[in-house]
Structure 1
Amino acid sequence: MITAPLPLDEDVRLRALRQLDILDTDPEDAFDRISRLAAFAFGVPIVLISLVDEDRQWFKSHYGLAACETPRSVSFCAHAVLSKRMLVVEDALEDERFLDNPLVTCAPNIRFYAGSPLRLPDAQVVGTLCLIDSKPRSFDAREAAMLADFAQLVERELELRQQLVRSRTAHERDRRSLAISEARFRTVFEQTPIGKAVVDLDGRFLDVNQKFTEIIGYEEIELRRRTFASITHPADVAADLVQVAELLAGRQATYAMEKRYLRPDGRTVWVNLAVSLVRDVSGTPLHFIAAVQDITSRKKSEEALRNYHIELEARVRERTAELRRSRDALQIITDNLPALVAVVDRDLRYQFNNETYRRVFDTDPAALRGRSLSETLPPDVFERLQPFFARALSGERVTCDEVRYRADVDQVWSVTYIPVRRDGQVTGFYVMAHDVTEQHRTERRLRERALVDPLTGLANRRALQDALRELRASGEPFALFFMDMDGFKAVNDRYGHDVGDSLLKEIGRRLVATVRSGDVVSRLGGDEFVVASRGVMDARTGERIAAAICREVSKAFVVGGRVIETSASVGVVLTGAGGAAGVVDAASAVLAAEAEERTEVQAEAQAETQTEPRTRADDALCLADAAMYEAKRAGRNTWRMAANAKVIARVGA
């Protein structure tokens, strides 16, 4: 066994891996879904998303394998990380690097390995997406390209995770800074020897410190029920209101005046009042901050008051700047994500949109802010998604797959709605939408391939079985034509398998052209074809179709510049009216007799394809097979009905 040496940039690579903050984390569906799809696409029992750590390889996803990690010293993936290229080992016992590796000689008994490197945006290779089989196998360029595509899906998830980690770190840093700022403000607010109050735009007290209550003589709870005008001496109210109007009009930022307050016992207290108006980043007034000082101690507290104002204004500017930087950073990060990102409030109006909205909705993201979802989304899309909006606003994280925002664009999105909570209340939700169009196309192609014979493009055995089950369930009469080529082995022996394959394709095309457009034409394997023809209710029609098949197949073929003459034997079974509809009483005896005349290879091939419990449709298929052998015994290039095989059938439910 040869252990892969460490890359020259191992320290940089390990630092990049650990910055992902992914090692020893819980399984995630996004990665497990890729593993399952890869296992299905390549037909392998084991698929791993392996991250190569300092002394181990750890599996973020391990489809088909119970272990979560193995030592790096025995890792195949370490070799791929070293070379930074795809590593393919078609037979580990033939490779001196791995032939005595414990993972080869013991469980999981690796014989085949293919690993595609996982690169971060900075080009560091942190692991592989690898395929493992306990049997040796070949791996062509098309499969290598497909594996690289699957690896890019994993890389996209890793990149998104990296961006989210950075965003979370920045957010936490901003949160701590704001918390420190708030703590400092509260310390200054509470501990300074000056009476302070926060007053809303209607003049009501929102917050006061202990010193303020001592100067005015009211308890805090009583002040919260009052306005500043209600405790101001009547002779001073008008002058105070004039100054407030000046603040709101923007003609001055603060004002100072001497005024009188009326204490609860009716006594008057003179104070030096200083008031500031706090505005948000857009200039909209938020509230007043008032500072009062007993004139008798004015000289003493003059310096503290001046320093307080300087500190307060600096904190406001710092907080405003921090908020602006945080929002700008969030905008930059989300604008570069390959996803739709938005924030929606409880009224279903956009509060934030990233740049991807411009491409998908052909609208400036800034223009969407404040616009309702019902105005932005097509009516049918909004109606479908409305229940998801309601669930998100109730505090539930929900995902809706297969969302199509535009009917004129073949693009499918997977959308997640995440509740936004502030002070224990849901104030809206985040929108995270990922483009899954290519994934859906891949899944559709994989489903289609599972039902199509790869050589002829006809329906395969599985598709035929599905069609027969549907026909039996519908109760509609139909006929089965089981066709086997006469002397096809001689064609393969004489001209080679390439010519034989071309001949099978031509036979398939002739069958499709011969039968009706609604009939099912399938290839079971080798040179065996089956036609399921709907609505055939009598023997005469079945005979006519069988004769047409024999006639068309017996015509000479021109394949690869050679003229090939061949023929076919056809067995016919009618189901429904006048046919073998139901369980066949004598089918077992007939099939046993026929099996004795078949070659060992044919019997083994039939056993390999018998993967499901036999159904009534299988009985009909077996009868057609038996009738085909009757045609071969009758001289070939002919057909026989199942009734001629001396099989007694009864019609049953």
Structure 2
Amino acid sequence: MQLLDSPPSPELDRIIRIALRVFEAPIALVSLIDCDRQWFKSRIGLDVAETPRDISFCTHAVEADEMLIVQNADSDERFFQNPLVTGAPYIKFYAGQPLRSIDGIPLGTLCVMDRNPRDFKDDDKKALEDLAILAEHFLHNIESQIRLQRVRKAHQRTEEMYSLIVEKASVGLAVISSDGIWLEMNSRLSEMLASPPESLIGEYVAPFIDSRDEFAKELFFDRLFGEIPSSPIETRMIRLDGISVWVQISLTRFDSSGEGDGSVVMAVTDIDDRKRNEIELETLQRDLERRVAERTIQLEDAISSLEFEASQRRNAELLTISEKERFRATLENATDAFIEVNSFGLIRMWNRSAERIFGWKEEEVLGRELASFIIPPSLRHVHFEAFSASFSTKQWRFQGKRIEVQAQRRSGQIFPVEMTLGVTQLDGEYLVNVFLQDITKRKEDEKRIRTAARRIKTITDNLPALIAYLDEKEIYQFHNRQHEVLFGKSADYFISRHLKEVFGPGFYRMAESSVRNVLAGAYQSIEIELDLSRGPRWFVVDLVPDYSFEDELVDKNTVIGFYMLATDSTDRKQREQRLSHIASHDFLTGLPNRRSFNEKLKQVLAITDQNSLEFAIVFIDLDDFKKVNDNYGHEFGDELLREFARCAKEAFRSSDFIARLAGDEFVAVIENIAKNRQEVDRIVARLRSKLKCEVRLPSGLSEISASIGIAISTGNVSSSDILQAADAAMYRAKQLGKNQTVYAD
């Protein structure tokens, strides 16, 4: 919260002045607890700005997480040797209420002190709680201000990114006022209109809409001033030089000021090339239909003539039948170019689609060499060699296959075609039928798709996250470069591998249910720890279903795969774990504290009640620990507590739970014990052995011992009952002469 070592706060000063008057005490403080010190944000009656944490009263209040009242420090075994009691400022009375952050994390205390012992009644406690709430409100306000500053910075970054995206957008973008005036526009739109933005801002939009598109113009202004549906408008806009360009316009209303100004965002896409191609195709289509109709009439006349001649000449009848069959074969492929050549490579038939695709009329090519009209000069020698070899061997290598080759239009333009060859024999003569489809548009679309895929790959490769697409069988179809960096594998490793094979069975067990849900159509977000070569890392994994929107043969609600985005959350997770450890463990020994022990005991009781298992509570109190502190000082006493904690962790089993309750009192939970006491006795024996042999003692101190009370559960029992039973057994052990172990009845 950035409060430590900050200047004094007038608000907190007022609160502690009120505390001084209310409690008639000479000292009042607002303390904040750091790792090794307590620092006073506000103080009256005390000269120092901070004290070590290990001697502070406030540390006890924060760790207990409740109000701490010390009516006479001289008679309190926790504080009677404290340097703040035996020396300046000679504290005898202390009352402190913990202060917490917005998230409930202990920060410090509001406390009052006196140099004389005194009573502290319930009304006094309530007054101290009320003043602490006021202090907490002030601290919460500071915390909220810090969070607000972070949000504002994030908002500023978002606005900067938005401005960059708008300026670099491939479509024209503009903001229009409610009365139809340009307010803002990006450089792409100004390029479309062939005019700098400063000459357009403030002008009306209406003059830029081509008046020839009256319906589109009326529709545009209906949507601008009325309700705005989602469908775009296709119209022509007039550039500053008078040239009209076809565009597609989408309008979206928004309230930029919060006062209902009715501004509209206009997105403009340049479709001039596509629109002009559509107009040209419509013209060609009408011409084609006219030619089809004329040719149909001609063919019908020819058929009538052939049918009339068939009654007189048999040979003419056979020829007519052949012509009809060839005509029907050609008619079935009328959308493709159809060309028929004989064994010399001379053109025998050339349909209307061939005229449209290659630009040569039928009468210009019939009876002439095929290669000179449609094959590029650089490929003609290859054509002649293959053509001659096929007719000489009567082996047609490409018959019935679709192959892609280069062809040439009358204009000299080289373009790709898909070719299908067929060979027929008629009256002893081999004829080659060629179907050719112009695939220029398909090739351009494939190129655009490859370019878009390459751009998407570049973007995802440079994002600091794992991004992948998997099909309905959980097989990798796409991944970004972060996979290769994180797993240390090549790009080829991931394609066609199963999710479980890439991440391992441990990850898959944790994520399997979420994968099933996303394949059922539900968005999923989970947090999982991965064991990587560089160490364990936490990730937030988002799974988004992918539906079959483009496949008309598949139900639109069918999930055909899912997208995966995994973001590294290790730093945040470690911060949370550190805070959790601080809140649940004793600062001096590193063992779990009283709160952790109570939670553990509740869990053990729930399990044992359900499964009829037995467990033991071991209550440990170091003998004569107060004398050790008196004779050798608190520093050695603290070291002795740490040594005891180390010995206890080594003596107890790894499955056992040991915690420090307070002072020199420790308690352990031993689960899954047999009905006899042998396992518990062995653990206690190990502990006593380690205390006798492994604890380093100063001269004059022969040994350190402990009184131990043990309670074994024999059925349904409450946590307070079994803990009290173990505590009572420990006190009986002390009465028996200390260094004893007593089982509860």
| TM-score, L = length of structure 1 | 0.46
Structure with max Cα Rg: 2
